[in-house]
Chain A
Amino acid sequence: MEQTQLKDKDFRPIQDFQGDAEKIAGESTSYWKDAWRRFKKNKLALAGIIVIILLGIMAFIGQPISGEDYRSNDLLSANQPPSADHWFGTDNLGRDIFARTWEGAKISLFIGLMAALLDLIIGIIWGSIAGFFGGKTDESMMRIADILYGVPYLLVVILLMVVMDQGLWTMIIAMTVTGWINMARIVRGQVMQLRAEEYVMAAKSLGAGNFRLLSKHLIPNTLGPILVTLTLTVPNAIFTEAFLSFLGLGVPAPLASWGTMTNDALGAFQYYPYQLFFPAFFICLTMLAFNVIGDGLRDALDPKERK
């Protein structure tokens, strides 16, 4: 092999070493900006968000634009197929299904979001305390959660619905009684993991109290998994509402929810399949939208999990 001969002229000083070399070309991106950039690439999840926004808007303007009231019945025009007057047809009491569908959207979305929010609050408090203090506190708090977790979720909800008066809030509370456990477990796991990080120790040595540590340093850093769980709680709550209404334990009569509408339509669905189609379709669409958003968020927030 031939040796390369180096001469003096091959060497020259690098010009202006301090110049641009250490400059960061791009703008610095935060965790959330980075996640949003990844999320935007997921067309399906974006479509899910658009669907949810549209459903939310329709929940409020759907009834006014149809000009029908979801409660008013007109037995003379019962069981009509979709037409120019009644865009989605009418049900067995002559109530306009289009108006009822959007009233149902309001209730389903409200229950879904409310149940998720309550789960979030209780779950974060319970989980972060258990995870942060550890030891005996953690042991006993998680034991309680374990026992509650041992009973099927829907069984508990049904039992509570039997005991309490039927109503919107009863349903939300019944769902929350066991619903928070999942969230608490996730928050606890995250907090336990983060507790040992150096930045927590740094904050501690600067004199941060427990409350400050939790609220400023630990919980904000668990937001990713919390957000994903939250998005997946919503379709679960919507499903539970439909499930309970389907069993006749749903919201009481004048109110319309997708579950009660499905239940009402079931009796005659051989003859009037459209009565079943609309509420069933929107239940599926909403659950689908939240599920793809949840999947998209998980992929975006946790690049390690990305497949």
Chain B
Amino acid sequence: MAKYLVKRIGFIIVSLFLIITITFFLMQAAPGGPFASERALPPAIEEQMNEAYGLNDPLHVQYFDYLLSAITFDFGPSFKYAGQEVTDIIKRSFPYSLILGLEAIFIALSIGVLLGVIAALKHNRFGDYTAMVIAVLGISVPSFIMATILQYIFSIQLSVLPVARFESFAHSILPAVALATTPLAFIARLMRSSMLEVLNSDYIKTAKSKGLSQRVVTYKHGIRNAILPVISYLGPLVVSILTGSFVIEKIFGIPGLGSEFVESVTNRDYTIIMGTTVFFSLLLLFSILIVDLIYGLVDPRIKVARSGGEK
């Protein structure tokens, strides 16, 4: 176990190193300097600013400086907003994204699993078809279209929920639902097929022939075993929620990390782009590790140490 953890963390460090390196050189290769979009500066001042941000050093010096400060989680100041540190911006905006993301994960998991189970229990009957139509639609409607549809219906036509901003629980409902749509549909399909497989297995027949009630068979024997593929989907789920937040936060005007990232991309604010990219990757790599560990705990058949290479 310890050996496995060390191996995985080593892998995470190598990945992060590569990501930092690649983003650094990508940003170097990006057309136009960070001050190109500003008003034309007198050459002397531009020279001074380049000096202040360390842009006059040779490339390899800049690279090692960046690498060293990235280890201590210091991504330097924002190019666009004077006096703001990238780390502060991440600290300020991440809580919004975290709350929104957790809410969306909760919705996607609970409703997705529920739909999948209903579909499997009512296999080839009305309930199955309804659940699967919802699932196919959920996969086919992109989150940003879903978001505008929800805004249109619930905020503009019915005016029951606020249209934007992020101040109370009511504000978070629409963005969380929009963010959850696509993963919810995936989970429902995943759950359905694995539940169908489990319901056809011998131990379910045994449980039924012992005279256990349908409810006990479904909950204790069925769902417990069928939920495993859903757990392995948690990694992609985090990715989907994370990237989904880019548009959803923009549409709903939420000051989270996703909209901060999008804004930095439009502003070509390179330090923020690099900082958030590294942060996102770190978040993601660790959540995948945690998911793998949970998977090993939930399903004792899987030896964590052996499944190391395969994901």
In the complex, the answer to whether A162 meets B265 with C-beta atoms within 8 Å is: yes
Q: State A283–B285 Cα separation when bound (angstroms).
A: 32
In the complex, the answer to whether A159 meets B277 with C-beta atoms within 8 Å is: yes
Which residue of chain B lies nearest to A273 when distances are taken between CB atoms in the complex? B152
Further contacts, 16 of them, CB under 8 A, given A150-B19, A287-B141? A150-B288, A151-B281, A152-B239, A152-B242, A152-B243, A152-B284, A155-B277, A162-B265, A242-B142, A247-B247, A249-B265, A262-B145, A266-B251, A288-B136, A291-B140, A307-B196
Task: Determine whether B148 belongs to the interface, using a CB cutoff of 8 Å to chain A.
Answer: yes
Task: Determine whether A153 belongs to the interface, using a CB cutoff of 8 Å to chain B.
Answer: yes
In the complex, the answer to whether A152 meets B144 with C-beta atoms within 8 Å is: no
Shortest Cβ gap from A250 to chain B (Å) = 12
How many residues on the B side are at the interface (Cβ–Cβ under 8 A)?
43
Task: Determine whether B75 belongs to the interface, using a CB cutoff of 8 Å to chain A.
Answer: no
Task: Determine whether B18 belongs to the interface, using a CB cutoff of 8 Å to chain A.
Answer: yes
Which residue of chain A lies nearest to B28 when distances are taken between CB atoms in the complex? A163
Q: State A147–B123 Cα separation when bound (angstroms).
A: 39
Task: Determine whether B44 belongs to the interface, using a CB cutoff of 8 Å to chain A.
Answer: no
Task: Determine whether B193 belongs to the interface, using a CB cutoff of 8 Å to chain A.
Answer: yes
In the complex, the answer to whether B247 meets A243 with C-beta atoms within 8 Å is: yes
Task: Determine whether A292 belongs to the interface, using a CB cutoff of 8 Å to chain B.
Answer: yes
Interface residues of B (CB under 8 A from A): 14-15, 18-19, 23, 26-27, 29-31, 123, 136-137, 139-142, 144-145, 148, 152, 156, 193, 196, 239, 242-243, 246-247, 250-251, 262, 265-266, 268, 273, 277, 280-281, 284-285, 288, 311
Chain A residues whose CB sits within 8 angstroms of the CB of B262 once the complex forms: 247
Known: A151-B281, A159-B26, A162-B268. A276 touches B148 (CB 8 A): yes
Known: A158-B265, A159-B23, A249-B265. A283 touches B142 (CB 8 A): yes
In the complex, the answer to whether A150 meets B284 with C-beta atoms within 8 Å is: yes
CB within 8 Å: A-B pair count: 96
| CB pairs A–B below 8 angstroms (6 shown) | A151-B281, A163-B26, A242-B144, A243-B246, A247-B250, A262-B145
Q: State A25–B285 Cα separation when bound (angstroms).
A: 58
Interface residues of A (CB under 8 A from B): 146-147, 150-155, 158-160, 162-163, 165, 235, 239, 242-243, 246-249, 262, 266, 269-270, 273, 276, 280, 283-284, 287-288, 291-292, 295, 307
In the complex, the answer to whether A287 meets B265 with C-beta atoms within 8 Å is: no
Chain A residues whose CB sits within 8 angstroms of the CB of B266 once the complex forms: 247-248
In the complex, the answer to whether A307 meets B27 with C-beta atoms within 8 Å is: no
In the complex, the answer to whether B139 meets A287 with C-beta atoms within 8 Å is: yes
Chain B residues whose CB sits within 8 angstroms of the CB of A292 once the complex forms: 136
Which residue of chain B lies nearest to A285 when distances are taken between CB atoms in the complex? B140
Shortest Cβ gap from A92 to chain B (Å) = 16
Known: A147-B14, A163-B30, A243-B247. A291 touches B145 (CB 8 A): no
Chain A residues whose CB sits within 8 angstroms of the CB of B284 once the complex forms: 150-152
Known: A151-B281, A163-B27, A307-B193. A239 touches B242 (CB 8 A): no
Chain B residues whose CB sits within 8 angstroms of the CB of A246 once the complex forms: 144, 247
In the complex, the answer to whether A243 meets B19 with C-beta atoms within 8 Å is: no
Q: State A163–B26 Cα separation when bound (angstroms).
A: 7
Interface centre among A155, A158, A269 (most CB of B within 10 A): A155
In the complex, the answer to whether B145 meets A284 with C-beta atoms within 8 Å is: yes
Which residue of chain A lies nearest to B27 when distances are taken between CB atoms in the complex? A163
Shortest Cβ gap from B242 to chain A (Å) = 6
Shortest Cβ gap from A33 to chain B (Å) = 27
Known: A151-B19, A152-B280, A247-B246. A291 touches B139 (CB 8 A): yes
Shortest Cβ gap from B257 to chain A (Å) = 12
Q: State A240–B207 Cα separation when bound (angstroms).
A: 46
Chain B residues whose CB sits within 8 angstroms of the CB of A162 once the complex forms: 26, 30, 265, 268, 273
Chain A residues whose CB sits within 8 angstroms of the CB of B311 once the complex forms: 146
